[in-house]
Amino acid sequence: GGARRIKRVGLSAISKPSTLAHTDMYGGDELTFPIDRCKELIESAPSARDKMLWSLLAATGARISEALTMLNEDVRVDIDPAFNRVMIIDPDTRRNVLIKYISAAQLNDLPHKGRAHPETFLIEPFVSMFWIALDEYRAEMRAQRLMAPVRHDFLVRSLVDGEPMHNSYQALYERFHKAALKLTQRPYGFHSLRHMYGYYLVNHCPNPNPHSHRKFGLELSMVQQFMGHALIKTTKRYARQDAHLLQAAMAAANFARLSEGPKTVLEARIAYHQQEIKQLQQLALEAA
């Protein structure tokens, strides 16, 4: 009966977005950029500006709209690198500052979704790549000869005239899309880096909680904070659990119960993963 009738009757769709990530051998799917190839992607960036931007998105999981409205003061460099910080500030909270650089109409059109808090959690190796690329980018900006001086403090600037790029998404996207397609033979956009960030946190990030049964992979509530989501159901769309890891746990449990091998689940998981390592090493040799 169509969408209107369905809504009127009060029905809802049965199918929901998958909470499992069926990734390839590099850790990528239709949404998640392959994490094992992200370093290579960043290194292939056509400019220091793009390298800085791509590594920033990969390290922080920021939205491209958030990155394009960041000011230089949001990147805080300390004498001790351990205290370096990248903040993502909602433009609505500092309209009095941004209005000095862009018009009121442009400010109202900024596609900023808002975050629960401004702090970001930076992941390696992309954060180290970001700090290096940032220095290279700022050196290029200082050496850039422009017809008129730059009168704004936006982090991301045009390589041609030094102007801010808060409304230049398409030009930046095409450069990223071209490099990603050349590397992976699949189309990816900037948002795939945000999916990659969430996927890494929930599956592979070392877990600092000493009371957790998981050595790798953070609790979803922590991932929610790091991604700045107000609702945990939004986090679930990004931070999907790796289907291969879940299958490994189930196979190990079945192996422990039914086989003549290991008698505990822990021993079975070790045996199963040892076999998985052999298969992955063989795949790596064949790909080399």
Q: What is the rounded CA–CA span in Å between residue 66 and residue 79?
A: 26
Is 137 contained in some domain? yes
Phi, psi for residue 233 in degrees, rounded to 5: -65, -30
Q: Which of 202, 223, 250 is the last residue before a domain boundary? A: 202
Mean pLDDT computed over 264-276: 65
Query: Quick one: angle between helices 220-227 and 191-203, nearest 10?
Result: 150
Count of the separate structural domains present in the chain: 2
Dist CA 255 CA 260 (whole Å): 8
Judgement on whether residues 190 and 247 belong to the same structural domain of the protein: no
Q: What gap in Å lies between CA 269 and CA 11, rounded to an integer?
A: 42
List the CATH number of the domain containing 140.
1.10.443
Contact 64, 191 (CB under 8 A): yes
Burial 200-231 (b: 16+ CB within 10 A, else e): bbbbebebeeeeeeeeebbeeebbbbbbbbee
pLDDT digits (tens, 9 = 90+) for 182-200: 999 999 999 999 999 988 8
- Identify the domain boundary among 150, 185, 202: 202
pTM of the model as a whole: 0.80
Output the six-digit token pair for 60: 């922080």
What domain range is 250 assigned to? 242-287
150/248 same-domain check: no
How confident is the prediction for the chain on average, in pLDDT? 83
Burial 83-109 (b: 16+ CB within 10 A, else e): ebebbbbbbeeeeeebeebbeeeebee
**Of 63, 70, 121, whose CA–CA distance to 91 is shortest?**
70
Bridge partner residues of 240 (DSSP): none
CA dist., res. 48 & res. 118, Å (int): 25
Q: Specify the range with the lowest mean pLDDT, choosing from 39-48, 122-131, 241-250.
A: 241-250
Whether residue 227 lies inside any domain: the answer is no
Whether 175 and 72 share a structural domain = yes
Last residue of a domain, one of 144, 176, 202: 202
Same domain, 103 and 169: yes
The pLDDT, as a whole number, for residue 226 is: 84
Is the predicted pLDDT of residue 264 greater than 60, yes or no?
no
- Mean pLDDT for 72-76 is 93
